[in-house]
Amino acid sequence: MDYEAVMGLEVHAQLSTESKIFCGCSTRFGAPQNSHVCPVCMGMPGVLPVLNRQVVEYAMRMALATGCRINTQSRFARKNYFYPDLPKGYQISQYELPIAEHGAAVVDAGQGPRTIRILRIHMEEDAGKLTHDPGRPVSRVDLNRTGVPLIEIVSEPDIRSPAEAAAYLREIHSILRFLDICDGNMEEGSFRCDANVSVRPRGQEELGTRAELKNMNSFRNVERALDFEIERQIAVLTDGGKVIQETRLWDADAGRTAAMRGKEEAHDYRYFPDPDLLPLVIDEEWIERVRASLPELAREKKDRLMVEHGLSDADASVITASPEVAAYYEAAVALGPQAKTVCNWVTGAVMGFANASGGPVGECPVTPERLAALLALMDQGVISGKIAKTVFDLMLKDSRTPAGIVEEKGLKQVSDSGAIETVVDEVLAANSKEVEAFRGGKTKLMGFFVGQVMQKTRGKANPQAVNQLLKEKLEKP
Ligand code: ADP
Ligand code: MG
Ligand code: ZN
């Protein structure tokens, strides 16, 4: 039997607002436990939530960027359950009337673009965090995260392969990052995903029974977990068994999923409209204002850089892989150097530094301004490309201008033909056997002579001038 896999993803994205969704507490990550709390987010009786307008606006941005319809009236609902990280005993979320519905994301997992429909986007508050002490029978409750704003983005079951699920996640991640509404950090949990997956005989219309997978904290692990789970479900069906609807946890070390809770224990959340919050009304004017403020997203930017800057598909993809890299590149190009040259330096030296240091491109000591100044020296023939890389490496530890560094270290390119000629003559005199061979037809030796001259001038000789002189002297003895 040939089976087809069907997947739908629920993405939780923490919104990067300064304050929480229903109180004024800070959302900053990594603060001392329970230092960003107040009676509202601690769930004290008698307090009232006040909706953070910025949260609504961020949710609207995501809705518009994914072509969702924004509901001019939406409601907050209470999702009731008991857990020690949830002091109120309910989470404020949205249920019947979410802020936005019916959008889509276009993804490409290598088989051409495919549209994955988005069922809904809703706003909700995050719960707190439990930490467990391995040495003692103690659990700690940290309420800094309670009330941090989230949006949940729920896809339709349109995804057909684990690779496509990863591509969809990357697309949602990219949109959130370019909209500047979520930092996208999967390890710190500001971008989380639950993956629903089922299998069915190919050609069958009806969906199979699904499992919901949790606990995957990287794109790679989402793909691995789905691969494993699809194989598992097919094996169950092939054995004549039945897939049961359940939540399963991914164990990255073991490379497998395991049942967490079955349907018997499934929650009944007793959703009902939150009587403390008025229906949220969004007028057309507000929607249009947010729409007009949307930035260019990765997809559009990539197309534009290919057309306007003449970048290749591969180059444009690397440059638009993150908003920081794109911003760095565009800032440097705006200062004058050739786009393709900037692209090479950004994808090479600048990203190389970021990868090696583990920091963002925006923190590279060679700022777009300094890179542009360096490239100008190259363009003016003051230094060669090879020396430019040496100067770049010095600039990482030295805050002076590239011109200042070149001056101090004596790295100026030698274009003076008299000076180069002296070195060329020395090289030819010291390698008479090679000169004979060259004149006998081994013209490949040109590279050897150029190398010798460059070595003697410590890379400072103008390569064109070296080539020219060597040619003259070797061909016309
Ligand atoms: P719940 O709230 O219980 O998680 P939802 O109806 O909101 O359930 O569905 C959650 C996700 O599961 C959605 O992304 C949806 O596309 C996906 N989904 C629903 N049914 C299936 C199925 N049979 N196979 C795979 N995915 C499914
Ligand atoms: Mg779910
Ligand atoms: Zn608070």
What are the residue boundaries of the structural domains of the chain, listed by start? 3-285, 296-409, 417-474
- The ligand 1 atom at the shortest distance from the C-alpha of residue 155 is 14
| Cα separations in angstroms, 375 against 83, 370, 407, 463 | 58, 9, 16, 17
Ligand 1 pocket mutation, candidates 3, 6, 9, 10, criterion most atoms within 8 A of CB: 10
Q: Which token pair is 184?
A: 């996208």
pLDDT of 33 strictly over 80: yes
pLDDT digits (tens, 9 = 90+) for 242-255: 999 989 999 999 99
What is the model's pLDDT at position 265? Answer: 55
**Measured in angstroms, how far is the CA atom of residue 34 from the centroid of ligand 3?**
10
Name the β-bridge partners of 138: 133
Q: How confident is the model at residue 377 (pLDDT cuts 50, 70, 90)?
A: confident
Ligand 1 pocket mutation, candidates 198, 207, 210, 222, criterion most atoms within 8 A of CB: 210
**Measured in angstroms, how far is the CA atom of residue 459 from the centroid of ligand 3?**
61
Q: Average of pLDDT values for 238-266?
A: 84
Ligand 1 pocket mutation, candidates 7, 154, 207, criterion most atoms within 8 A of CB: 154
Any idea what DSSP says for residue 263?
A: G
Q: Who's near 103: CB < 8 A, 6+ residues apart?
A: 63, 66, 67, 68, 69, 117, 118, 121
What is the model's pLDDT at position 464? Answer: 79
What is the residue-wise DSSP string for 34-57? T-S--TTTTT-TT------HHHHH
pLDDT of 264 strictly over 80: no
| Cα separations in angstroms, 74 against 16, 95, 164 | 22, 9, 31
At 16, the amino acid letter reads: S
Q: Who's near 360: CB < 8 A, 6+ residues apart?
A: 324, 354
Q: Average of pLDDT values for 122-138?
A: 92
Residues 181, 194: Cα–Cα separation, whole Å: 20
pLDDT of 416 strictly over 80: no
What is the residue-wise DSSP string for 355-394? HHHTS-GGG-SS-HHHHHHHHHHHHTTSS-HHHHHHHHHH
Name the β-bridge partners of 124: 150
Residues 90, 73: Cα–Cα separation, whole Å: 22
Q: How confident is the model at residue 262 (pLDDT cuts 50, 70, 90)?
A: low
- The ligand 1 atom at the shortest distance from the C-alpha of residue 197 is 25
What is the model's pLDDT at position 477? Answer: 59
Ligand 1, atom 11: nearest CA belongs to which residue?
A: 8
- The ligand 1 atom at the shortest distance from the C-alpha of residue 207 is 23
**Measured in angstroms, how far is the CA atom of residue 18 from the centroid of ligand 3?**
12
**Measured in angstroms, how far is the CA atom of residue 174 from the centroid of ligand 1?**
23
Q: What is the mean pLDDT of the chain?
A: 92
What is the model's pLDDT at position 380? Answer: 83
What backbone torsions phi and psi does residue 134 show, to the nearest 5 degrees? -65, -30
Residues 435, 429: Cα–Cα separation, whole Å: 9
**Measured in angstroms, how far is the CA atom of residue 154 from the centroid of ligand 2?**
9
Q: Which residue has the tokens 């929480």?
A: 20
Contact in structure between 409 and 394 (CB atoms under 8 Å): yes
What backbone torsions phi and psi does residue 211 show, to the nearest 5 degrees? -110, 150
pLDDT of 455 strictly over 70: yes
Q: Which token pair is 242?
A: 């039945």
Q: Three-state SS for 407?
A: helix
What is the model's pLDDT at position 148? Answer: 97
How many alpha carbons fall within 13 Å on the CB side of residue 298?
Answer: 26
Ligand 1, atom 5: nearest CA belongs to which residue?
A: 154
pLDDT digits (tens, 9 = 90+) for 56-75: 999 999 999 999 999 999 99
Q: Who's near 150: CB < 8 A, 6+ residues apart?
A: 12, 13, 14, 15, 123, 124, 125, 126
Q: Any residues with Cβ below 6 Å from ligand 1, and which?
A: 6-10, 154-157, 196-198, 207-208, 210
**Measured in angstroms, how far is the CA atom of residue 99 from the centroid of ligand 2?**
18
- The ligand 1 atom at the shortest distance from the C-alpha of residue 6 is 25
Q: How confident is the model at residue 405 (pLDDT cuts 50, 70, 90)?
A: confident
The count of residues in the chain is: 477
Ligand 1, atom 7: nearest CA belongs to which residue?
A: 154
Ligand 1, atom 17: nearest CA belongs to which residue?
A: 8
What is the model's pLDDT at position 443? Answer: 85
On whether the 417-474 domain is CATH 3.40.50.1110, my answer is no
**Measured in angstroms, how far is the CA atom of residue 38 from the centroid of ligand 3?**
4
Q: Average of pLDDT values for 462-476?
A: 83
- The ligand 1 atom at the shortest distance from the C-alpha of residue 156 is 16
pLDDT of 145 strictly over 90: yes
pLDDT digits (tens, 9 = 90+) for 323-365: 999 999 999 999 988 899 999 999 999 999 998 988 889 899 9
pLDDT of 176 strictly over 90: yes
Contact in structure between 86 and 78 (CB atoms under 8 Å): no
| Cα separations in angstroms, 304 against 15, 22, 57, 425 | 28, 40, 27, 50
Q: Who's near 283: CB < 8 A, 6+ residues apart?
A: 72
Q: How confident is the model at residue 133 (pLDDT cuts 50, 70, 90)?
A: confident
Q: Average of pLDDT values for 165-187?
A: 95
Sign of the alpha-carbon torsion through 281, 283, 288, 293:
negative
What is the model's pLDDT at position 467? Answer: 86
Any idea what DSSP says for residue 128?
A: -
Ligand 1 pocket mutation, candidates 168, 196, 242, 265, criterion most atoms within 8 A of CB: 196
Residues 41, 269: Cα–Cα separation, whole Å: 20
**Measured in angstroms, how far is the CA atom of residue 240 from the centroid of ligand 1?**
24
At 166, the amino acid letter reads: A
Q: How confident is the model at residue 40 (pLDDT cuts 50, 70, 90)?
A: very high
Contact in structure between 248 and 212 (CB atoms under 8 Å): yes
User: Residue 30 region, left (φ>0) first, then alpha (ψ -120 to 50), else beta?
Assistant: left
Closest ligand (CA of 93): 1
Contact in structure between 32 and 260 (CB atoms under 8 Å): no
pLDDT digits (tens, 9 = 90+) for 293-324: 999 999 999 999 999 999 999 999 999 999 99
User: Residue 166 region, left (φ>0) first, then alpha (ψ -120 to 50), else beta?
Assistant: alpha
* Selected residue with higher pLDDT from 117 and 461: 117
- The ligand 1 atom at the shortest distance from the C-alpha of residue 9 is 14
Helix (H) or strand (E) holding 323: helix 323-333
Contact in structure between 147 and 21 (CB atoms under 8 Å): yes
Q: Average of pLDDT values for 149-158?
A: 98
Closest ligand (CA of 194): 2
Helix (H) or strand (E) holding 258: strand 256-262
Q: For residue 299, which of 275, 265, 328, 323 has the smallest C-alpha distance?
A: 323
**Measured in angstroms, how far is the CA atom of residue 80 from the centroid of ligand 3?**
20
Q: Average of pLDDT values for 143-167?
A: 97
